[in-house]
Amino acid sequence: MDDKKRGPKLHTKILSGLFIGAALGIIANTQLGGKHPLVEWTNHYVAGPAGQIFLRLLFMIVMPLVFASIALGVAGLGDLRRVGRVGGRAIGYFLVTTFLAAATGLVFVNVLKPGSGLAQEVKAGLMETYAGDASAKIGLSRAEGFGIGTFVNIVTRNPVKSAADGDMLGVIFFGLMFGAALTLIPAAKARPMTDLLESLNCAVIAIVGMAMKLAPLGVCALIFGVTSRFGFALLRPLGGYVLVVLGALLFHAAVNMSLVLRLAVGLAPSLFFSRVRSALVTAFSTSSSSATLPAAMNAAEEGLGVPPHIAGFVLPLGSTMCMNGTSIFEGITVIFLCQVFGIDLTLGQMGVVIVMAVITAVGAAGVPGGSIPLLVGILAMFGVPGEGIAIVLGVDRVLDMSRTTVNVFGDISAAAYVARAEGLWNASMVPGRAVRAAPGLAATQA
């Protein structure tokens, strides 16, 4: 009775907004065309602003949420040796699952070879259409090259500037140091600051609640913008490439991660998915692990019952370091473009692709298209012209949405894994009436 009074659940509303926006966008594209004045007016004055307001509400709270949750997470762990242990387990999980994802992507692209059948005229047309975007991405890749400087820059000079610039790693590092410092000073002096951080965290979470009420409308607007402009047209010349990427992403989530959930997390995949789907839908619609962070933390804590200090520590790290979907996309895209340009890679070079896909995926920004600048650098290693990225830019939005969903899937599973490894959580602690544990774990009543 209470559920009926409350109406549909949030994830149901978000999914409804997703489907409505996609349907309206496709209808507008097929009936009027992506460049019709009415479609452009709607995107410029209605769908675009609505979607951007929703995204801005999420981005607005990301930095204070990351700082407060990381600092509280470290302070809550207490002993710095435990911080190192929890961080080591989280990073180990990120790297293992990301490596597994990259290897899966390379198997798919080498078996199915989507780049070998792309006609020369199609390649030339795509290069011409997206040459301007490609030049911008190449310039950005030179400015944001991945190297030793990336690791040095993690140690921020100015945490306030890092927050203003969207430098997530800098804010995470400052949060880690701040939380560690709170464990080293007398408890009486640390307590006022932890109380302040807890109040900040609660206030930010309240803003999350307000923002998520707009999620169905925001998602509808974002998806309408994509489908009304492009419809199905972009999938025709690059259909094979798109299907290979989507197939690898689906295989990794449905097979690889399901095994990880059962064996390492001790949780039935169906139960995990049912409790985190609102976060996955948010990831799909925003194409940003960072923007999805508030929803992911809510899913981990409220949906799965992961302790807040573990979720607050692991998920901000995961939003920048656990990039399963991105590593799949990068590995497949490098091999695909090598196939398009007739470049044959040796087995050793394939291994280099896997390693670079893992490293650059970890270094990619958790924002829409954040992996593209780093991807350009990998292409140059194998003799693919940087402008070649133009071939895939047209369909990147669809793939970005999909790979971000897999990234967030990995983030939340990492939080559950670390909590279980620390002995603080297990499948029987998932909130809800019927808890279905993985084989070997007894199902219990919550």
Task: Give pLDDT, residue 78.
Answer: 63
pTM recorded for the entire structure: 0.67
Tell me whether residue 233 is in a domain: yes
> Which of 106-115, 160-169, 293-302, 345-354 shows the lowest mean pLDDT across its residues?
160-169
Give the mean pLDDT of 326-348.
86
Question: Is pLDDT at 137 greater than 90 in this prediction?
Answer: no
| pLDDT tier at 252, thresholds 50, 70, 90 | very high
- Could you give the number of structural domains in the chain? 1
Instruction: Tell me the per-residue pLDDT of 221-242, one tens digit each, with 9 for 90 and over.
Output: 877 887 787 666 555 557 788 8
Neighbouring C-alpha atoms within 13 Å toward the C-beta of 347: 0
Rounded distance between C-alpha atoms, residue 172 and residue 180, angstroms = 12
305: domain CATH number?
1.10.3860.10
Task: Give pLDDT, residue 182.
Answer: 87
Tell me whether residue 273 is in a domain: yes
**DSSP code of residue 441:** S
> Which of 143-152, 183-192, 377-386 shows the lowest mean pLDDT across its residues?
143-152
Tell me whether residue 3 is in a domain: no
At 268, list the tokens.
């039935």
Give the structural domain span for 265: 9-439
Tell me whether residue 328 is in a domain: yes
| pLDDT tier at 372, thresholds 50, 70, 90 | low
| pLDDT tier at 362, thresholds 50, 70, 90 | low
Question: Is pLDDT at 444 greater than 50 in this prediction?
Answer: no
Name, of 126-135, 165-174, 243-252, 344-353, the range with top average pLDDT. 243-252
Rounded distance between C-alpha atoms, residue 412 and residue 244, angstroms = 25
**DSSP code of residue 255:** I
Rounded distance between C-alpha atoms, residue 148 and residue 180, angstroms = 25
In the predicted model, what is the mean pLDDT of the chain?
A: 79
Name, of 80-84, 247-251, 392-396, the range with top average pLDDT. 247-251
At 270, list the tokens.
């169906």
Tell me whether residue 56 is in a domain: yes
Tell me whether residue 298 is in a domain: yes
Instruction: Tell me the per-residue pLDDT of 400-437, one tens digit each, with 9 for 90 and over.
Output: 889 999 999 999 999 999 999 999 999 888 987 444 44
Task: Give pLDDT, residue 1.
Answer: 40
Name, of 4-8, 9-13, 432-436, the range with top average pLDDT. 9-13
By residue count, the chain amounts to: 446
Give the mean pLDDT of 169-181.
83
Task: Give pLDDT, residue 442.
Answer: 40
Question: Is pLDDT at 191 greater than 70 in this prediction?
Answer: yes
Distance from chain centroid for Cα 129: 28
> Which of 22-36, 164-178, 338-352, 357-371 shows the lowest mean pLDDT across its residues?
357-371
To the nearest whole percent, how much of the chain has pLDDT over 70? 76
Rounded distance between C-alpha atoms, residue 69 and residue 145, angstroms = 29
Task: Give pLDDT, residue 365.
Answer: 52
Other Cβ atoms less than 10 A from the Cβ of 350: the count is 16
Instruction: Tell me the per-residue pLDDT of 259-290, one tens digit each, with 9 for 90 and over.
Output: 999 999 999 999 999 999 989 988 988 887 87
Tell me whether residue 48 is in a domain: yes
Question: Is pLDDT at 145 greater than 60 in this prediction?
Answer: no
Rounded distance between C-alpha atoms, residue 245 and residue 154, angstroms = 31
Task: Give pLDDT, residue 396.
Answer: 75
Tell me whether residue 444 is in a domain: no
| pLDDT tier at 34, thresholds 50, 70, 90 | confident
Task: Give pLDDT, residue 227.
Answer: 76
